[in-house]
């Protein structure tokens, strides 16, 4: 994998459903993996920064895991709410440069 890849590109879920999406990245020269939440007409906001293999982070109903050996991270949202609708970006840091994925666009249907 040469670039940071995110899947799926978009998804629609019903309010109350739990969901997850994937960020895949090259496992070499790894420093950190970031997740951002990007609402329409706003700027991206940092959710998590993870650096160690096996890291798990949680903020309310949102959590993330990291596997640096196989090069992937999962973002989980439990009990999705309409206010969770946003694009979720991941970014891989290789020291001084960040490489962003194209994001997963989540729409939560009331």
Partner 1 sequence: NAGVTQTPKFQVLKTGQSMTLQCAQDMNHEYMSWYRQDPGMGLRLIHYSVGAGITDQGEVPNGYNVSRSTTEDFPLRLLSAAPSQTSVYFCASSRQSGTGYYGYTFGSGTRLTVV
Instruction: Name the residue with tokens 């879920």.
Output: 13
Binding window for partner 1 (CB under 8 A); candidates: 17-25, 30-38, 64-72, 73-81: 30-38
Interaction of residue 103 with partner 1, rule CB under 8 A = yes
Among positions 21, 24, 25, 32, the unique one binding partner 1 when judged by CB under 8 A: 32
C-alpha distances out from residue 52 to 9, 19, 32, 57, 69, Å: 26, 24, 8, 11, 10
| Three-class SS state of 94 | coil
Q: Which of residues 35-94 bind partner 1 (CB under 8 A)?
A: 36, 42-49, 51, 89, 91, 93-94
């Amino acid at each position: 994998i040469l670039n940071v890849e995110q899947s799926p590109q978009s998804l629609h879920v019903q309010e109350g459903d739990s969901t997850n999406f994937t960020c895949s990245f090259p496992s070499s020269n790894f420093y950190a993996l970031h997740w951002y939440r990007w609402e329409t007409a706003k700027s991206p906001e940092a959710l998590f920064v993870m650096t160690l293999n096996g890291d798990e982070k949680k903020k309310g109903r949102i959590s993330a895991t990291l596997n640096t050996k196989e090069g992937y991270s999962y973002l989980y949202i439990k009990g999705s709410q309409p206010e969770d609708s946003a694009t979720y970006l991941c970014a891989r840091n290789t020291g001084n440069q960040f490489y962003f994925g194209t994001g997963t666009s989540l729409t939560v249907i009331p």
